[in-house]
Amino acid sequence: MKQTDFDVVVVGGGPAGATAATELAKANYKVLLLERAFRIKPCGGAVPPCLLAEFDVPESLLVARIRSARMISPSNKSVDMPVGDTFVGMVDRDVFDPWLRDRAVEHGAELRIGAFKSLHYDSTGVIHLDYQSKEGELRDVSVTTRAVLGADGARSAVARQTVPCSADLKWVLAYHEIVEAPEQHNDHYDGDRCDVWYQGNLSPDFYAWVFPHGKHASIGVGSEADGFSARHAVAALREKTGLDTRQTVRREGAPIPMKPLKRWEDGKSVLLTGDAAGVVAPASGEGIYYAMLTGKLCAHAMAAYLQTADSKQLAQARKAFMRLHGKTFWALGLLQRFWYSSDKRREKFVAMCNDKDVQELTWQGYTQKKLVRRRKAAHLRVFLKDLGQLLGLARA
């Protein structure tokens, strides 16, 4: 085996990349974690409580515990969905992501600030990776590695160079503004409640949101529609909710993928994870949990590859993820394509959220990332109600 500078270079230090770097460093591999510039990604910041235990994340990182969600229809009718005896956690990415990177460093990964430029294989199969260092004076750096894990977002440069199907990745533009939260709760803002706006004037094909973050609040929107102005939509939502008078802390925008890529590896020594692999839940836009899960799965697949030199081991990461959540992603994609396509359908969708079976199964699936199979009767009732709505709309 030819000597290299690193066993693995992880490009991107978000939840997926930092989690993968931690897992690989814990397994005693020499890991370089390359983070571009500590940019804060636009994100509602919601995490299920199961994430804390599954990834050993302390509750002290939560800035809020959400006890309910309010769904607002195009006609401004609202449906409250209480979470029940659990909660939805909220994190601030400007604190959460650095903590994850620091943990990777504590376990032995080396963190560098730099922008990935290119990679190529030499005649022996070793990868030469070039990046621009942003530590001190800008300079170009080249390192050698046995493998690369691309965790550099929906428009991944690693993916573009190594995995051809990445050109087919579908995404929505997410944009939000972080503002100082109101001191007192009111009808339009509650620090224990997430508000989700299903209105075509705010988003023609996704949704808008107001999510509490302790002392701050995230006001955002997503859409893939051509000509859509996310800034104008957020401004309209701020005015509608009275949050236009609150001081703006920062503004952020980025693409969010909506469907897992059909392939995550290049057939040699490169593997994609997180947003780069397209792993964000359709309809909800949930990404943090799935990013960290794919980070762990990809780290395990990468470790198996490093041990055996069998590139087929890299494909096991996607197979494992799709076994766990492929059906959920398919169902959410169908939900988004149908129910978000017009205000008439959004109106009926919000009305369905008033159903107790829908609420219980929604929160149980979100907070635990699994469904209770013994509740077959509730699943059947929800299915029949949804089918009735579909047939009714088809006749309209």
| Percentage above 70 pLDDT, the chain | 92
Does the pLDDT value for residue 380 go beyond 50? no
Domain match, 193 and 151 both: no
**Domain at 244, CATH number:** 3.30.9.10
Q: Which residues pair with 68 in a beta bridge?
A: 82, 193
pLDDT the model gives residue 393: 46
Range 129-151 average pLDDT: 95
**Residue 151 forms part of a structural domain:** yes
| Together in a domain, 26 and 175 | no
Give the pLDDT score at 226. 86
Q: Which one, of 32, 44, 165, 176, lies nearest residue 110 by Cα?
A: 32
154 and 107 part of one domain: yes
Domain that holds residue 187: 67-92+171-257
Same domain as 124, residue 35: yes
The pLDDT of residue 38 is above 70:
no
Please state the rounded mean pLDDT for residues 109-125: 96
CA distance 42 to 220: 8
Q: Given this model, what pLDDT does residue 387 score? A: 46
* HSE value, Cβ hemisphere, 13 Å, CA-based, for 68: 12
Q: 201 and 177 in one domain?
A: yes
User: Residue 379 — pLDDT band, cuts 50, 70, 90?
Assistant: very low
The pLDDT tens digits of the residues spanning 187-238 come to 889 999 999 999 999 999 999 999 998 899 999 999 988 889 999 999 999 9
Residue 340 inside a domain? The answer is no
396 — pLDDT class (breaks 50, 70, 90): very low
Residues 181 and 230 reside in one and the same domain? yes
Per-residue pLDDT at 1: 64
Do 134 and 236 have their domain in common? no
Q: Do 85 and 225 lie in a common domain? A: yes
Structural domain count, the chain: 3
Residue 60 domain flag: no
Q: What is the pLDDT of residue 171?
A: 83
List own/partner pairs for 336-345 with CB under 8 A and 24 or more apart.
336/205, 336/206, 336/258, 336/282, 336/283, 338/390, 339/283, 340/198, 340/205, 340/206, 340/207, 340/283, 341/205, 342/200, 343/74, 343/199, 343/200, 344/393, 344/396, 345/393
- 88-102, 205-219, 304-318: which is most confident: 304-318
Query: How high is the pLDDT of residue 360?
Result: 82
Q: Average pLDDT for residues 91-102, to the nearest whole number?
A: 93
Average pLDDT over residues 300-304: 98
Query: Would you say residue 140 lies in a domain?
Result: yes
- Closest by CA to 210, choosing from 333, 72, 87, is 72
Q: In what order do the strands lie in the sheet with 248-257?
A: 78-82, 68-72, 193-197, 208-213, 216-223, 171-180, 248-257
The CATH number that applies at residue 22 is: 3.50.50.60
pLDDT at 301 over 90: yes
Residue 142 within any structural domain of the chain: yes
Q: Which of 99, 63, 67, 75 is nearest to 292 (CA)?
A: 99
Q: Could you tell me if 368 and 286 lie in one domain?
A: no
Contact indicator for 340, 74 with CB cutoff of 8 Å = no
Q: What is the mean pLDDT of residues 17-36?
A: 97
H-type alpha helices, 152-249: 157-162, 230-241
Q: What is the mean pLDDT of the chain?
A: 89
Contact (CB, 8 A) for 104 and 31:
yes
Average pLDDT of the segment spanning 69-87: 93
Of 196, 230, 257, the position where a domain reaches its end is: 257
Query: Residue length, the chain?
Result: 396
Residue where a domain stops, chosen among 239, 257, 275:
257
- How many whole angstroms separate alpha carbon 89 and alpha carbon 377? 29
Supply the pLDDT for residue 297.
98
Residues 283, 147 share a domain: yes
Tell me whether residue 10 is in a domain.
yes
**Which of 40-44, 272-276, 351-355 comes out lowest in average pLDDT?**
40-44
Query: Strands (DSSP E) along the chain, which ranges?
Result: 6-11, 31-35, 46-47, 64-66, 68-72, 78-82, 88-90, 110-121, 127-133, 139-150, 171-180, 193-197, 208-213, 216-223, 248-257, 270-272
Provide the pLDDT for residue 42.
Answer: 64
- φ and ψ at 391, to 5 degrees? -65, -40
Would residue 21 count as lying in a domain?
yes
In a domain, residue 119? The reply is yes
Can you tell me whether residue 117 is helix, strand or coil? strand
For 355, half-sphere exposure in the C-beta direction (CA atoms, 13 angstrom radius) is 19
pLDDT in tens, 324-359: 999 888 888 888 888 898 999 999 999 989 988 888
Residue 390 has pLDDT above 80, yes or no: no
Residue 201 and residue 75 share a domain: yes
| Residue where a domain terminates, one of 207, 234, 257 | 257
Pick the more confident residue, 287 or 162. 162
Q: Clarify whether residues 123 and 245 are in a common domain.
A: no
